[in-house]
Structure 1
């Protein structure tokens, strides 16, 4: 995974602004304004524009930070030969994040506003889910080269794994249907999806050299 794709470090002021953006996305979706962010973060709108540029650029930075945190798990996992444990940690963190109430609410509001704010919506997807899938694909390709997974299209493998981890839980939340709303249930699903992925892409067994020898008969 190319470290240059990860976001730069942030300071305390960035953290206040990013926290404000995340909270406002959960309340207002794409209708969120820079005025509201400035008020929530306790700074001026001029400071926001001078430090982050446009609202779209600010959203990009916030999403990059989240993807950077998730990708950091993968980078650390590359140092371990325990593939199942690495994927299970990733899956568990993924599910925990998207089961936070403000995250689910933000996703619903953003989806509802996507047609009205298409550029912002595309930015959020490209820098969020799209970037995470790319990072995961790069990690999977490295794992395949180490012989820990059967080599296949790493981008398809990454998309499949994320779909398996997500399951139908987010749709159930969106339609106010009972879902995996506790850590134990999410852990069981993470184990099920990761184990299914590992079975599907288990390395090919090594070929056993033939031991047949010509026999001489007297």
Structure 2
């Protein structure tokens, strides 16, 4: 049974400042960021951070939880909204976020220091990539019960979908090779990945819609 969806408690203005500071520092310092640096960037004391979040790991966990909730906000349960549109909105949003300069710098810095801060890196992975997969799996499980996706392992399906959306573009960026640096190119890839996923896992009527969309795009 998939894990329950992430539903973080509402955050106030102070949390927003702190989480924004964490995001900015991750893009500059990676895992090396300190509570002192977060406190200075957020305009509060280090004692306030420890009182409110307990420790650096818990602060990172909550910041990652908010990020995952934002990244999966497009995965709504809405009978009036076509399944393809829901998945496409998620795919486009995922690619646009991953292609932000700050997100790319954060990934590079964390990857470069993961061997040195192995426990912290694994903790961040569980709170980000793994949590995102679990959230997508929970949404897919719901859609299976509603008959809009075929019954299969939702965690495998979620991992496959995210992999299809990412493609090899982030590897191209890592090696400074030509990549999809135009939003229209990323959207075309998102459509291709979405339609491919639906042809594999959606009932016949949903898969037919995806195929028709794919054919229209191919000859446009």
Q: TM-score, normalised by structure 1?
A: 0.88
Which residue of 2 is the match for residue 12 of structure 1?
13
Q: TM-score, normalised by structure 2?
A: 0.87
Q: What is the CA deviation profile of residues 68-98 of structure 1, one whole-angstrom value per residue up to 9, with x for unaligned ones?
A: 1123321x24444400000000000000110
The reply on whether 1:190 has 2:208 as its aligned counterpart is: no
Which residue of 1 is the match for residue 90 of structure 2?
90
Structure 2 gaps of 5+ residues are: 206-220
Q: How does 1:206-217 map to 2 (within 5 A)?
A: none
Structure 1 gaps of 5+ residues are: 206-218
- SS of 1:72's partner is coil
RMSD: 1.6
Q: What is the CA deviation profile of residues 111-152 of structure 1, one whole-angstrom value per residue up to 9, with x for unaligned ones?
A: 111122122111211111111111111111221222222221
Which residue of 2 is the match for residue 110 of structure 1?
110
Q: What is the CA deviation profile of residues 24-65 of structure 1, one whole-angstrom value per residue up to 9, with x for unaligned ones?
A: 111111111111111111111111111111111111111000
C-alpha distance in 2 between matches for 1:96 and 1:30 = 23
C-alpha distance in 1 between matches for 2:99 and 2:162 = 15
Which residue of 1 is the match for residue 160 of structure 2?
160
- SS of 1:73's partner is coil
Q: How does 1:1-218 map to 2 (within 5 A)?
A: 2=4, 5-74=6-75, 76-203=76-203
Give the ranges of 4+ consecutive aligned residues of structure 1 lying more than 4 Å apart after TM superposition. none
C-alpha distance in 2 between matches for 1:174 and 1:7 = 32
